[in-house]
Structure 1
């Protein structure tokens, strides 16, 4: 074999080796479609238009809402309505939900603003440092999350829920219609004269059905998500303890959310 042939062979082998290494690197680092949203973390912010300290928390929630892998939701409550301004989006069901979380911890008091991450009983205030700490904990537990995938077919919202390794896993699948953005002028109370930017306001909760730990498929009419000015939706798989909401096991959001 002459020198030129030897050089060409060596070059071919080097290129082939480089190609194999590059392919291995790409395979190790590439994410499948939608992987950035796999096992998203759900932040619930309990707030009120009549709460003077809630607006900074809403701004923090808006910042987290733009991050991949996070579903940030606003739950307006009603127990501050007597302070001179009734929250136009507050729902008694959300007040009851927050109180139910508190009851899981044996607490009788609730407050705003308050953030709950993945339905964990440990409640935190909604400053950025506390939220980042809670998000790290939630992501560390992501391996125990259940896959939830949603899409639309015709007039139906379809949801696939994966299986759980836990033999006694049980939860409920919920549809949460969401209004992604509204700007509200406050006419009374502690925030009188201010303008509030609402992000991802939950407008209701509809139970789709029970989940018993096995892979399952669910469908619900699309109009179920078109309520009370909602323009999007989130699907949440959440456990329950004595009828109270507990850990969120998985979630998915509508395309374009």
Structure 2
């Protein structure tokens, strides 16, 4: 565990951060790009189940791409979350630095890389999603296409050509749903269901404003098979997500 992660505080001690101002389809809508909601959660966190359930609701909402990132810094409490990863923890820490927060916590939702809130505060999160849906900032249109029998899909990125800075293009593999019986830790004795569980995330390209096509393999590392894949186009260092789309892999 990093020194940064040791500064974790409980969600009940956190304060929602508000900045200025499909289920979600497989393709981004040019007229109304999807809003990306990332939940940072853990099976070892007693306050996370309500947020996990809420993410399942968001996963069914048109115009929203909801992703569940399981962090690894609660694994020392007697139960190792089987979906946790150092990459999820690092992504949350990157957001904390970008938002000038001194700590990370669970459950946390980050909306479009721009706003954040306690994941179980449904009203706050809904309001932040609306803010992002109404925002007039520039976006990149992302679409994913391909033959059902092909070994890979193609992600196409189209912007207005006015973007000057680089954006990272992230490939995210995730599963639709997992249910786990938890025998130890803070949620001992509970059987909990998780939605859109991220299994792998990797940086696959840089986007500089010109039209771009990216090969999207149907399998992850070592041939692992997952239910779905998403492409996120994001400004540097945990910045704003300017384009996204997802597609089924099965």
Query: TM > 0.5 between the two?
Result: yes
Which one has a bigger Cα radius of gyration? 1
Residues 114, 34 of structure 1: alpha-carbon distance in 2 compared, 3 angstrom cutoff: closer
Q: Which has the higher helix share?
A: 1
Residues 167, 59 of structure 1: alpha-carbon distance in 2 compared, 3 angstrom cutoff: closer
Cross-structure match for 1:200: 196
Counterpart pick for 1:247 among 233, 240, 243: 240
Select between 145-154 and 75-84 the one with higher mean Cα deviation. Answer: 145-154
Unaligned runs of 5+ in 2: 1-26
Matched, 1:145 2:162: no
Residue 76 of structure 2 aligns to a residue whose secondary structure is helix
Select between 179-188 and 141-150 the one with higher mean Cα deviation. Answer: 141-150
Matched, 1:71 2:76: no
The whole-number CA distance in structure 2 between the counterparts of 1:226 and 1:72 is: 25
Per-residue CA deviation, residues 39-95 of structure 1 (Å, 9 max, x unaligned), is: 111100000001111000111111111111111110000111111111111001110
Cross-structure match for 2:37: 43
The whole-number CA distance in structure 2 between the counterparts of 1:254 and 1:37 is: 19
Residues 202, 144 of structure 1: alpha-carbon distance in 2 compared, 3 angstrom cutoff: same
Measured after TM superposition, the shift of residue 228 of structure 1 is: 5.0
TM-score with structure 2 setting the length: 0.82
Residue 175 of structure 1 aligns to a residue whose secondary structure is strand
Q: Does structure 2 retain, via aligned residues, the 8 Å contact 1:147–1:250?
A: yes
Q: How many residues align?
A: 221
Measured after TM superposition, the shift of residue 34 of structure 1 is: 7.0
Residues 248, 172 of structure 1: alpha-carbon distance in 2 compared, 3 angstrom cutoff: same
The whole-number CA distance in structure 1 between the counterparts of 2:204 and 2:190 is: 38
Unaligned runs of 5+ in 1: 1-32
Matched, 1:214 2:207: no
The whole-number CA distance in structure 2 between the counterparts of 1:43 and 1:250 is: 13
Cross-structure match for 1:189: 185
The whole-number CA distance in structure 1 between the counterparts of 2:238 and 2:28 is: 27
Q: Does structure 2 retain, via aligned residues, the 8 Å contact 1:177–1:227?
A: no
- Which is bigger in relative contact order (C-alpha 8 A, separation at least 6)? 2
The whole-number CA distance in structure 2 between the counterparts of 1:93 and 1:174 is: 12
CA RMSD of aligned residues (A): 2.2
The whole-number CA distance in structure 1 between the counterparts of 2:125 and 2:108 is: 10
Counterpart pick for 2:129 among 111, 135, 143: 135
Q: Does structure 1 retain, via aligned residues, the 8 Å contact 2:28–2:244?
A: no
Residues 188, 92 of structure 1: alpha-carbon distance in 2 compared, 3 angstrom cutoff: same
